[in-house]
Amino acid sequence: MRLFLYFFALLCYPVFGQSQKVASAQVEYRFFSNSDFPTSYYTTLYIDKDISLFHEKPNENATRSDVNTNDGLVYESLSTSTKTHFLEPYLKVNRNKQEILFFESIGANRFLIQDDYQNLDWTITNESKTIEGFSCTKATVSFRGREWTAWFTTEVPLPFGPWKLYGLPGLILEAYDATNRYTYRAVKIEFKKNAIFEEDFNTLIKTKNKNPISYRQFLIDTQEYRDNIHAEAVKNNPDLQDVPVPNNGMETKYEWEE
Amino acid sequence: MKYIFILFLCAISAFSQSTINGKVSDESTETLSGASILLKSTTGQIITYTITDKDGGYTLEVESGSYTLEANYLGYQKQSLTILLKDKEKRVQNFTLKLRSEELKEVVIKYEQPVVLRGDTLVFDAKALSTGSEVVVEDLLKNIPGIVIEKDGTIKYNDRPIEKVMVDGDDLFNKGYSLLTRNMPNKPLDKVEVLQNYSNNKLLKGIEDSNAVALNLTIDEAYKNLWFGNIEIGYGERNRYLATGNLMHFAEKYKTFLTTSFNNAGYDKTGNVDAMVSNSVDLESIGHGYRASKIMGMGIGSSRLGEDRTRFNNAEVATLSTIFPLSDNAKLKLIGFLGFDEQDAFHNSYSVTDFQGTFFENSEINNSRDKLSRSYVNALFNYDVSATQMVQSSTTFNAGKSDYKNDYTFNGTSTRETLETKNTYFDQKATYTHKWNDRNIVLLKTRFFTDKLPQNYGINDYLLGDLFASDTVDAVGNDVKSNKEYAGLQADFRLKQKNDDLISFAVGYDYNNDDLTTRFSLFAGNNTTNPADFQSDISYSVGDLYARSGYTFKFKQFSLGGTVNIHQLFNRFQNSEGDTKTQNPFIVNPTLNASWRLNPDNIFSAMYSYNVTNSDLLQVNDSYLLTSSRSFSRGLGYFNQWESSNASLDFTTKHYLNRYQFSAGLSYSRQNDVVTYRSQLDQNTSLSDAFIIRGGDRIGVRFSSHYVIRKLKGTVKLEGDAGRAIYYNQYNNSGLRKNTSYHQSFTLGWGSNFKSAFNFNIATEWDFSQVKSDNTFRNTSKFSYLDLKYVISENFNVQLKTEHYNFGGVDSYNNYFFADLEALYSFEKQKYSIGLDGRNLFDTNVFTTYSVSDIGYSTNSYRLLPRYVLMTFKYRF
């Protein structure tokens, strides 16, 4: 009898082997940045079990629908510009290893950076709404100087979301900060595992450093680079006026600044 | 008693926390990490949650009570059960999840777009950008990260200077936009648009790779009749004055801009005007660089000093430009310019000519006044035939006159010279642009212009020594009529390939016709002689059928590109006797360039070009032309083309954080045959004849570097270049002379980068030159400057600029010091400002430079504007 059970288990193993696929998804978010230069582009979140990869694509013109310009301006785009101006970075969140890795650039050089993994302290509210048939609940968190709101659905129980927003008991379909400056909206969800997980994350983008540098050090280097550029510009033109730039980015305060 | 009871209750509740933990696994007993565990109230609200760790385990701490506990994992069926937790209970609850049988389907979610992106145009709301404290447009633009505004008003976006600032799609200023951004109030602004990858020709967008950026301001409907501008008035000692006014009017359909300026303080206010008036930016055309030949040139040579120290002037300038739409598809822009100036100059020179068998010294004094007048009218017409076709036309009429009078003393003999130069210029350009599909565009360009440059010279004495055998000549005159006509046609194709490379080629035909008539006369009492060989009546026409193309291959970090220019020329020269010569040369001029980007911080580049140049009018001319008071020059009398090749190699490296940057380059150029001049020099005259000899070569090396020193909060720069050139010429009875000239120059500078109100900038430049021929002449000069800047507050700043010049050579203790002080105080948000402008505080009156050549050396002294202090008042409305 036991032999029969073992044999049955062996037969069933390939079936259970397919459970590799079940915790996989590919979610496309539309990102809106209503900053001083409004911009909008697509981003994709690839999920496989405990790892998520967030890919930003700022170069593709996010005008996949017809654009009506009837205000007399003549700058209509008759062709999409696919020239690569900006870095199209990846961000990896590994829940089990408690590790966050991503790519950023200084000037023309790209870097692999390691950020501190934080367990975001979400507050789940009583508010709910429906998005395309998914029942969503509202949660909020304070992260690096901004108050973020996320609508997540437990019907897709993946603890991931766009950018560095993760840890809710369901996929985040919509996320925005309190000032409505940055918004992510999921526009497409597919349940499959992307081949990108076969590749070594650290080599997805050619970087100047082989080993990841800490995010804190990277921010110090970025500030030094800006200071040096300004110093060079002043050398050539002593009348140059420096306009102080307020930090209005996605992260305005860091936990080590307390 | 009550309080103890409450305390007791609290104590009890603190200890009534219960725990639930467990493991979540699937039916094959594999644990599931990343599963979500939800604890909901009986009404369905989520009380708390957690996610299972890498071993599939979870722990929840919660108050005792009745709940629903759910476990869920993607691809599996959710499980939930009701649990009742007692105080301090430690419940273990494991879950075994079953696979879901249905396939999970793809989901598409539709949203309304809150931001409309129109290609490369970013639109944002001016009201949202404003913090309430801005007054003019420049203040509002300062609020944008990525935008840096320089002291002179230049706007840069991401380190790149922007092309223009338009208002409702119209541009009145070209690069002179600071007149707009510094004076236009920001209140009427509705939207500010940033146009990236901007092309001046809107049909070129998407085909031409452009990194240019332009700004477009749209005005709120409510403000459809805007008037604004500013006035600046200054007055100082020695009756120096300055008055400038700018007035702008933006109406529903019309936009007008008027600027006027009057000054006698040495300021050149036409700089901004030239930028506005040149419309090569608005309209791509052909025939660049062709102008009628100016035969006679007078006036002071350029010196090391800025012109504002030597320009004694009295200038009046006014420009009016206006744009208005003719219909929905057509627009007209008119620009008119009127200017007058009187420029005085005082210049002495002493020269020594010393070479094999020849030695003489000359001293000259020039005391001149030049009365200039200029008027210019341009009409630029734009018509959109359809969304893919456009016609542009530009019509220009320019008239100018210069009345130059000079008290000229030559070796003690006082004379009076006059040179009257007139110019009339008429230009008609038309360009038709057709974009026949997304990737392909053709521009058909035509142009026609006539340029007349007559000159009339006279001197009331005879200084030409033995050149003409005559004792009785008491005056000399030269009458020049120089005319050019140009007509051209070109088809310029730009085809963008699938891989984003751009293939461009152009074919065209240029026709240039120059007529030159000169009448050189010697007056002796009532007799007039016109010596043979010194009169000209020639006509030179060049027809150029050409094609040009270029392509760049890009492969990984390499790029290799080339362009080739092919010309079939039809040269025709008719000389003073009426004989005609023709020549039809075929020319190919290639250029190759390559670059290797080792990594983002290290780049190598190389360039090679081969060039054949056709002779111009003065090189073909067959008689002597008087070019200045005592020099004549004669061309070959026949056509010639000469070849030269150039090669260069460059390397740039920089630190990835820009702590330092270093670049070095090597260049070599060689001329095969050149047209040079064989000159007969004597005390009084110089007679140059063109002839062809072997060319020389030139080799040069240069480097530049800067290094940021964080500890000292400053930047150090070090630059240098050195070169050696070999060239050949012939003077008097010498044979072919070989001349070698060396030069070296080094600059060392330090600029501070303090975050405080005070900053300084100091630099020194050493120049060394040597020319070796029969004799060797050397020259060393040093130039240093120290600028101090003190920004006392946002509205008050002071700048002190000091300069020091030193020239080696004859009197090696020639040291010159200059100091200028500028202070500006503004109030009421810069609506009013008062300024103090002190120039040449050390009251240096004369400036003498020293220069060497292969046949001698010379010193040149210039009289300078003496010290003056000007008080200015500026008002903006």
In DSSP notation, A119-161 reads ----EEEEEEEEETTEEEEEEEEEETTEEEEEEEETTS-----
pLDDT band for B583, please (50, 70, 90 cuts): very high
pLDDT band for B545, please (50, 70, 90 cuts): very high
Going from the C-alpha of A136 to that of each of A172, A185, B700, the distances in angstroms are: 9, 13, 71
Predicted pLDDT of residue A35: 65
Which residues 6+ apart lie within 8 Å of B331 measured at CB? B170, B323, B324, B325, B381, B382, B383
In order, the DSSP letters of B543-603 are: EEEEEEEEEEEEETTEEEEEEEEEEEEEEEEE-TTS-EEEE--EEEEEEEEEEEEEETTEE
Ramachandran area for residue B272 (φ above 0: left; ψ -120 to 50: alpha; else beta): alpha
pLDDT: which is higher, B20 or B131: B20
Contact B220, B185 (CB under 8 A): no
Nearest to B500 among A83, A238, A245 (CB): A83
Predicted pLDDT of residue B448: 95
Contact B239, B218 (CB under 8 A): no
* Residue B575 Cα to chain centre, angstroms: 42
* Residue B720 Cα to chain centre, angstroms: 23
Contact B385, B391 (CB under 8 A): yes
**DSSP-assigned beta bridge partners for residue B772:** B740, B776
B29: closest CA of chain A, how far (Å): 10
- Partners of B143 on chain A (C-beta within 8 Å) are 36
- Partners of A170 on chain B (C-beta within 8 Å) are 36
Contact check, Cβ <8 Å, B117/A62: yes
Dihedral Cα B833, B874, B241, B348, nearest 10 deg: 70
CA dihedral (B520, B522, B523, B526) positive or negative: negative
Predicted pLDDT of residue A235: 65
Q: Which residues of A72-83 are buried (b: 16+ CB within 10 A; e: fewer)?
A: ebebebeeebee
Return the percent helix, strand and coil in chain B, to nearest 5: 5, 65, 30
CA distance B142 to A174: 33
Size of interface A-B (CB pairs under 8 A): 255
Of B672, B670, B671, B675, residue with least CA distance to B692 = B675
Of B317, B319, B325, B318, residue with least CA distance to B341 = B317
Dihedral Cα B602, B604, B605, B606, nearest 10 deg: 170
pLDDT band for A7, please (50, 70, 90 cuts): low
Predicted pLDDT of residue B275: 56
**DSSP-assigned beta bridge partners for residue B875:** B231, B832
Single-letter residue type at B23: K
B330 in A contact zone (CB under 8 Å): no
pLDDT at B457 over 70: yes
Contact A138, A158 (CB under 8 A): no
Print the SS3 string covering B27-89: CCCCECCCCEEEEECCCCCEEEEEECCCCCEEEEEEECEEEEEEEECCCECCEEEEEEECCCC
**DSSP-assigned beta bridge partners for residue B65:** B85
Contact B192, B129 (CB under 8 A): yes
Of A167, A176, A95, residue with least CA distance to B48 = A167
CA distance A65 to B110: 12
Using CB atoms within 10 Å of the CB of residue A199, give its burial: 0 to 12 exposed, 13 to 18 middle, 19+ buried.
exposed
pLDDT at A137 over 80: yes
CA distance B324 to B331: 6
Residues B460-464, mean pLDDT to the nearest whole number:
88
pLDDT: which is higher, A240 or B717: B717
pLDDT: which is higher, B33 or A4: B33
Reduced to 3 states, what is the DSSP secondary structure of residue B805?
strand
Contact check, Cβ <8 Å, A37/B599: no
Which H helix or E strand runs over A5?
helix A2-17
Q: What is the ipTM of this complex?
A: 0.79
B599: closest CA of chain A, how far (Å): 8
Contact check, Cβ <8 Å, A76/B118: yes
| Chain A stretch 39-78, residues whose beta carbon is closer than 8 A to a beta carbon of chain B | 39-40, 49-50, 61-63, 65, 67, 69, 72-78
Predicted pLDDT of residue A67: 36
Quote the tokens at residue A189: 């969800």
Contact check, Cβ <8 Å, A75/B147: no
CA dihedral (B527, B533, B534, B536) positive or negative: positive
Mean pLDDT of chain B: 85
Residues B67-90, mean pLDDT to the nearest whole number:
89
Which H helix or E strand runs over A28?
strand A24-33
Compute the half-sphere exposure of residue B167: CA atoms within 13 Å on the CB side of its CA.
Answer: 30
pLDDT band for B753, please (50, 70, 90 cuts): confident
Contact B842, B817 (CB under 8 A): yes
pTM: 0.75
Predicted pLDDT of residue A6: 52
